Amino acid sequence: MSLQLVAITLDCPDPPALAAFYQQATGLEPHPRSGADFAALNGEHGLVIGFQRVDGYRAPSWPGQDQPQQLHLCFRIGDDESLAEVESRLVESGARIPAHQPHGDRARVLTDPVGHPFCISTR
C-alpha cells in the first residue's frame, strides 16, 4: 500500500483570515475554491493546506495540554535568512512567541493568530 499526503486542514474560527496569515508567511497561492467556511493554499507537490471554520473554536494551549495542540506544523527557513529575521516578520503578521522554547538556537516555536503552534527551523 502506498499513500500520498494531499492535504492538511486546520480548524479555526475564520478560514480566510488564517489562510491570509499562512499565505503571507509562506508565499503559497490561494486555492481557487476558497470561501468563508473553507479556505486553502496550494503547496508544493500538490499538498494543500486547508483551513476550516469551526463554531466554538478553542485555541490549543502550548506547551500544556489543557486544550491539546493536535497538530504542529514545521517550516524550514531559507538559507539566506536568519531565525530572528523570519520570526520578526511572522510576529508583525500576527504570530506570537510562547515562553516555552525547547529547541535552543536551531528552531523557534510560534503560534499563529488563532493559537496553533508551529516551528521555524534552519534545517
User: Which stretch of 25-29, 68-72, 112-116 has the lowest confidence by average pLDDT?
Assistant: 68-72
Per residue in 93-112, pLDDT (tens digit) is 999 999 999 988 889 999 99
Per residue in 27-36, pLDDT (tens digit) is 999 999 999 9
pLDDT at 80 over 80: yes
Question: What is the C-alpha separation between 95 and 73, in angstroms, rounded?
Answer: 14
As given in the structure block, the three cell numbers for residue 3 are: 499513500
Whether the model pTM is above 0.85 = yes
For 19, phi and psi rounded to 5 degrees?
-60, -40
pLDDT at 70 over 80: no
